[in-house]
Amino acid sequence: MYTRYPLSGSARPSVIDLAFANPLLLPFVKGWDTSLPSTGSAHVPITILLDSPSQTLPPPLLTWDHTDWETLSPLVETFQVPSPLSCPSPKPLDEWLTTSLDRLTTLLKEHTPSSRPSHHSKPWWSRHLTILRREYHKVARMAPKQGTMAMRELANASRAGYLKAIKVARN
């Protein structure tokens, strides 16, 4: 990426000229910096700081289909929300709402099983790899149907990028 500064005497603001952009990396962009020296003319390199994806597994999801509604329904019907203060300020009101919601959420979670990640799950796997895998397989299926050299090259490049991303994620 380069940024182009305005010509002397010009009233136009600076323009960022994108030479490379990947929307899948957007969640990992921590910031950017233009501290490197100019490359000549009116261009200055932009250093993009990326945050590494989290190595922890996401929390297990609740499986609402398996909720014990027979036991839970009477508890929810008798659930009592404490009465709020007569004229609360924002902080006590927020605490009252948070406490009530936490009590109700805890009650629901106690009677709803959670799905556990498979023992085959990889902690380094990310949504980005899932998207790359989907795109690779889509192109790999299209390449034999179209039979063009350009499509085969695209399938090979897609495969190489997908495998390289897996290798980087593992390390």
8 found inside a domain:
yes
Confidence (pLDDT) at 16: 57
Residues forming beta bridges with residue 45, ordered by sequence position: 2
13 found inside a domain:
yes
User: In which domain, by residue range, is 35 found?
Assistant: 2-50
99 found inside a domain:
yes
Number of domains in the chain: 3
Q: What are φ and ψ of residue 64, in 5° steps?
A: -65, -25
- How far is CA 7 from each of CA 10, 46, 50, 144, rounded to the nearest angstrom? 5, 19, 31, 51
Tens-digit pLDDT profile for residues 135-148: 899 999 988 888 88
pTM (predicted TM-score): 0.38
User: Are 44 and 6 within one domain?
Assistant: yes
User: Are 46 and 68 within one domain?
Assistant: no
58 found inside a domain:
no
Tens-digit pLDDT profile for residues 102-155: 999 999 888 888 876 665 667 778 888 888 899 899 999 988 888 888 888 888
Residue type, 134: R
Confidence (pLDDT) at 90: 84
Residue 54 tokens read as 């989290």
Contacts of 140 (CB under 8 A, 6+ apart): 155, 158, 159
Percent of the chain with pLDDT strictly greater than 90: 9
CA-CA distance, 168 to 124, in Å (whole number)? 10
Percent of the chain with pLDDT strictly greater than 70: 77
Q: Is residue 3's pLDDT more than 50?
A: no
Q: Is residue 164's pLDDT more than 50?
A: yes
User: Are 46 and 6 within one domain?
Assistant: yes
Residue 86 tokens read as 């007569």
CA angle, 109 as apex, 108 and 110 as ends, to 5°?
A: 90
